[in-house]
Amino acid sequence: MDFTKKLLHWHNKKNTRTMPWKGENDPYKIWLSEIILQQTRVQQGLQYYEKFMNTFPDIHQLAKAQQKKIFKLWEGLGYYTRCKNLIETAKKIVRDYNGRFPSTYEEIRKLKGVGPYTAAAIASFAFNAPQAVVDGNVQRVLARYFGITAPIDTAAGKNLYAKLALALLDKKKPGIYNQAIMDFGAVMCKPKNPNCTDCVFQKDCMSYKKGWTDLLPLKARSIQKKIRWFRYLIIENADGRIYIRKRTGQDIWKNLYEFVLWESSKLISRKKIAASDFFKKIFHEQKFEISAISEICSQELTHQTIRGQFVHIRIAKPIQVLGDYILVKKSRLKDYPFPKFITAYLQNPLQQLF
């Protein structure tokens, strides 16, 4: 089952999101709701939508109302240019279109305050035109599902998302499809804490597979790579074997091997390493010898920067708390796949500081 079919199946069977304008085909109501929600949270916008509909039930009532009354009703929504555009567009539709909304995307797009998204919403919901909506919810769903790293706030990125959205659109039911993908982004594929556990796309979602869910979509203006500090303990037993384990979960380097990892939010000074709580947890009362500490190593990934050090440690007897690690002879390390961050260090022992 492809993306579009799965989305529509979810919409028909599991989408319980309700809003006053959902399923509406009156272009006036759709337009009004979209203008209100352009820079307003849905919860706040609901009450304003209801107030406007009660006061101005059709576009003729809105067009002939005094500006003062309209602005008073808008009070608290902010971004008053939207209100000015609302008034101007209402008058234009009554004056030039006899109170009837234009029915094509191109004509709707020419209206004051109506951008590509709003025009597509009106055209598809009210007139069943095959126009794909591309808002923040849609971009987030597409970016995560397909693993798209093109920034959403660049010309190239916007063009890419627009083309992909149109290619996925159900041309026979564009309004239903558009509502489905926007709702999915709002209730399932949320900006924070998305419901990946119950997601119908989990098995095919690229960002879920790669652990990128919290990183996508990207914005060029605000791309700030997360810095993670990895301090690897190369713990060597008395018989010359070293502790390693396979990385699991949805983080980077899945299925690759690593030494004993101590990840921290910042660089920890060499003087404090041995006295840290992490070392106490690992070694308890057992004696250990730090034989070398490397220089700071770094690797740039697409969405984050990995920095860290390698700490060489010798012990006399096995450590009991390292249950998920295995002991491997140094000569056999080359048989295991390690991430570049580790292999680069192993191939350059001059980085070690004794």
- Cβ(82)–Cβ(39) below 8 Å: yes
Q: Which amino acid is at 58?
A: D
- CA 159 → CA 6, 139, 145, 223, distances in Å? 24, 11, 17, 19
Three-class secondary structure assignment of 180-233 = HHHHHHHHCCCCCCCCCCCCCCCCCCHHHHHCCCCCCCCCHHHCCCEEEEEEEE
Q: What is the β-pairing status of strands 352-353 and 257-258?
A: unpaired
d(CA 7, CA 137): 14
**Dihedral of CA 61/66/67/69: which sign?**
negative
> Which of 34, 263, 289, 295 is flagged as catalytic?
34
Count Cβ atoms within 10 A of the Cβ of residue 290 and give its class: 0-12 exposed, 13-18 middle, 19 or more buried.
Answer: middle
Active site residue 106: no
Catalytic residues: 34
